[in-house]
Amino acid sequence: MSFQQAGEHTPAPFCRRLLQVTANEKVGAYRLLWALDRDAPAPLPGQFAMIAAAQGWGAGVDERPFLPRAFSIARRREDGQCAFLIEDVGPGTARLCALSPGEGLWVLGPLGRGFTPAPAGRRTILVGGGIGIAPLMILQDAILGAGAAVGSGTAAGVGVRFGADATPGESASCVALLGFRGREHAHGASLLHEPQVATDDGSVGHRGLVTDLLERHLGDESPAVVRACGPPAMLESVRAICERRDIAAELALEAGMACGYGACYGCAVPRRGGGYLRVCVDGPVVDAAELERVS
């Protein structure tokens, strides 16, 4: 049995859907927003959705937001409950963070290309910075769930398509390295299984960069692949480290987006060798080798 093809994606229904918010949990500096999305196909880890509040979308600072916003699908249950992890950084995220259960949410997705499973016998090292932990949550769910998968087409207990063809019982190994600004943000670490944490101010875990932890892990152990998401400087650092050590890495990128499905050409990032790729359809997860640098 083979893993799914690299860069495969789950096609999205051709229409945004009106969902209901089912919960809005505070997790330190973040909000975990749950909605029930029964009819959507199971996403791949790393896929995202374009979301907008059904009410009150457009009355924030500067009369914004106007367009929907991109969010990683951070968690998904088999019953269709899905979660977005959100940091309030502007008018769109502010509105989403303020949603109450029962309120409506427009969702388009799952969109983009997700992470691919590690080849057999390799550990997966997850490297997350700040809100970048969101896609690593569902990726870890899928990796840990995949070990117990029984050919249902989705990782067991987790409404996600990922490595579902792996031999039942074959346990995938995975470590999560997470970097945060400080204590408030580091609460996000509670959303992953057995994470190792770094904070800029040393208030939790290692004082310093998450890439310090990465270098340590790559130093001596068994073959690994890296899956990373976080701010551009962190991703660039991860990319450079992995390039130097010749380690396969996939990076989940961000870019300002208007559409999320390849229509506007707004989400361009430079591709190695010239030209641009569209983060929404060529990513958000890209092979680090596709980039000359992350900026």
Partner 1 sequence: MIDFCGIELAHPVINGSGTFDAIAARRVFGEQLVERFPFSAFVSKTITLSPRPGNPAPRLWEAPAGLINSIGLPNKGLSGYLAEDLPQLAQLPVPLITNVMGSTAQEFCELVAACERRPEIAAIELNVSCPNVKTGLDIGSDPRQLEAVTQAVRGQTGKPLIIKLTPNTADVAACAAAAERGGADAVSLINTLRAMALAPGSDRPWLGGRTGGLSGPAIRAVALAQVAAVRGAVALPIIGMGGVQSPAHARDLLRAGADLVAVGTESFRDPAAAARIAAEIY
Query: CB 167 → partner 1: shortest distance, Å?
Result: 30
Among 34, 57, 71, 115, binds ligand FAD (CB under 6 A): 71
Q: What are the two backbone dihedrals, phi and then psi, of residue 266, each rounded to the nearest 5 degrees?
A: -85, -20
Q: How far from the centroid of its chain's Cα atoms is residue 138's Cα?
A: 7
Query: CB 191 → ligand FAD: shortest distance, Å?
Result: 11
Among 32, 33, 42, 85, binds ligand FAD (CB under 6 A): 85
Is residue 59 within the footprint of a second copy (CB under 8 A)?
yes
Give CA–CA dist 265/267, Å, rounded: 6
The site for ligand FAD, by CB under 6 A, has a size of 24
Question: CB-wise, 13 or 256, nearer to ligand FAD?
Answer: 256
Query: CB 294 → ligand FAD: shortest distance, Å?
Result: 13
Question: CB-wise, 64 or 271, nearer to a second copy?
Answer: 64
Position of tokens 């063809």? 165
CA-closest candidate to residue 281, choices 50, 75, 125, 89? 50
Query: CB 220 → ligand FAD: shortest distance, Å?
Result: 32
Footprint of partner 1 on this chain (CB under 8 A)?
A: 9, 11-16, 52, 58, 62-68, 106, 108, 111, 255-259, 261-270, 274-276, 278, 281
In the complex, the residues that contact a second copy under the rule CB under 8 A are: 55-59, 63, 66
Interface residue list for ligand FAD (CB under 6 A): 48, 65, 69-72, 74, 84-87, 89-93, 131, 134, 254-257, 279, 284
